[in-house]
Structure 1
Amino acid sequence: MHFHGYEWAGDGRLLAKESERRPAEGGGFGLSELPPLMTGWWLLRPDTQIRGTWETATEAVEWLAGRYEEHTPGGDPWLPTEARRQRAIGQLGRASDVVWSRWVSDSRWSGHYVIACSNKAWPRFTCPAR
């Protein structure tokens, strides 16, 4: 098992474009950079959307924490970053995906995703990069 990182930040109103976020024919899913509606669907996207690949959960979470902090300075006031890190390492160790996302202003959304590959929730999906 290894892990792929993905991210998207932008105008949160674009998230309403569900046809680009679902793997349906003619919807533009494969070309869209909007985050899919389901985490495992990232594995159906082109490998050019992968922002990093790691062999250990700890490495993946370090990337996740760094990107999250860059996009959301000060982090989440309700859940300290260190507690968030430890929980994410545990989740990834069980082959569960991790998403850290939030609204950073009235209209701006920031999402950071680490997807386990191979994925226990989506066992039929092949790795996009290997």
Structure 2
Amino acid sequence: MSWSGHWHGFGPWIGAPARYAQEGGRRPPHSILPAPGAREEERYREVAAEFPTSDLPPLMTGHWLIKRNQAVPDRTWTVVAETLNWLTKHYEENPPFTREDGKQAYCTLAEKQAYAVDVLPRGVDVSWVHYTQSRNLFSAAVVCCPNHFHPDVPCPLPPS
């Protein structure tokens, strides 16, 4: 797979699992709406209007590119090592919980890093999500731009 582009970092988002589970707020507006006049249509329009400015992680990582206010210059990279440094910093600041029985709940940081180094240069998004010690959810994503799965979404902030 050949890919040429840059990466944007989004997050970290840290919050209650119940909020993360509100999938409606994690979906961008869609051209197919519920039946006109239906109660669902009004709620859909409210939730869809919130999507572009909400800090809640989208269901599909590429949809971060639609959240234009979340793209910032210091989280736009052309070098993989810089993306990895950013992800690692936030991971270490918000480590995953450890199981009481001593068993491993998640893959290791080294495994996450190796995966990111392997796939980012090929244009594959990386999303790290886990429960923290306080049982909140942590989510950080590095999104490829241009994006394989959302090629029509314009870049929110080209690298300088």
Asked which structure has the greater CA Rg, the reply is: 2
Deviation at 1:73, TM superposition (A): 6.2
**Contact between 1:13 and 1:107, CA under 8 Å: does it hold in 2?**
no
Matched, 1:10 2:15: yes
1:49 aligns to what? 70
TM-score normalised over the length of structure 2: 0.72
**Match for residue 59 of structure 2 among 20, 37, 51:** 37
Structure 1 runs (4+) deviating above 4 angstroms are none
**Contact between 2:97 and 2:131, CA under 8 Å: does it hold in 1?**
no
**Contact between 2:125 and 2:144, CA under 8 Å: does it hold in 1?**
yes
1:1-130 to 2 correspondences below 5 Å:
1-7=5-11, 8-24=13-29, 25-27=45-47, 28-46=50-68, 48-50=69-71, 52-72=75-95, 77=104, 78-105=106-133, 107-130=135-158
Deviation at 1:26, TM superposition (A): 3.5
TM-score normalised over the length of structure 1: 0.88
Identical columns (%): 34
Structure with a larger share of its residues in helix: 2
Q: Aligned-residue CA RMSD in angstroms?
A: 2.0
Deviation at 1:19, TM superposition (A): 2.2
5+ long unaligned stretches in structure 2: 30-44, 99-103
Structure with a larger share of its residues in strand: 1
